[in-house]
Amino acid sequence: MTVGTRHPIPGVGVVILRRAETGVEVLLIQRGQPPRQGQWSLPGGKQEWGETVQEAAKREVREETNLEVDILGLIDVVDLVDLPNTHYALIDFLATPTGGSLQAGSDAADAVWVSVSALSDYALWSETQRIIARAVDMFEP
């Protein structure tokens, strides 16, 4: 291996769904840090040394939303490539809330529950939209 060789950065994203009177809701966070600062997205972030991807997913959710979650399954893996500086391999999970009270924290500027039918009101990355749709299909087969 050449010294200075760059590698993709592993990260996690979590689609947290819950049933509400108005239908299925998804938890969105407004990113407080780059990349995509100020934009709406899913809770998530970088995997840390020594933790599994599921541990990373739970930690990131806790840090960004103050919620505890149960991971239900893997949705997909997405590459976020913006060369020459950025290449993330994002491992996306489906989860449901099991505890805590919603509160934006850490890297999140805001956190809100949004009806899946109202997602068009948020300017989401096309891959985030696709991942949420896939998660909803898994959640309500």
Tokens of 54: 């599921």
The model carries a pTM of 0.92
Q: Minimal CA–CA distance to 11: which of 65, 76, 90, 109?
A: 90
Q: Residue ranges of the domains in the chain? A: 9-139
Average pLDDT, the chain: 92
Read off the pLDDT of residues 64-113 as tens digits, 9 standing for 90 and up: 999 999 999 999 999 988 888 888 899 999 999 999 999 998 788 999 99
What would the DSSP string read from start to end of 60-84?
A: HHHHHHSEEEEEEEEEEEEEEEETT
Q: What is the pLDDT of residues 51-66, one digit of tens each?
A: 999 999 999 999 999 9
Domain 9-139 has CATH 3.90.79.10: yes
The pLDDT value recorded for residue 4 is 60
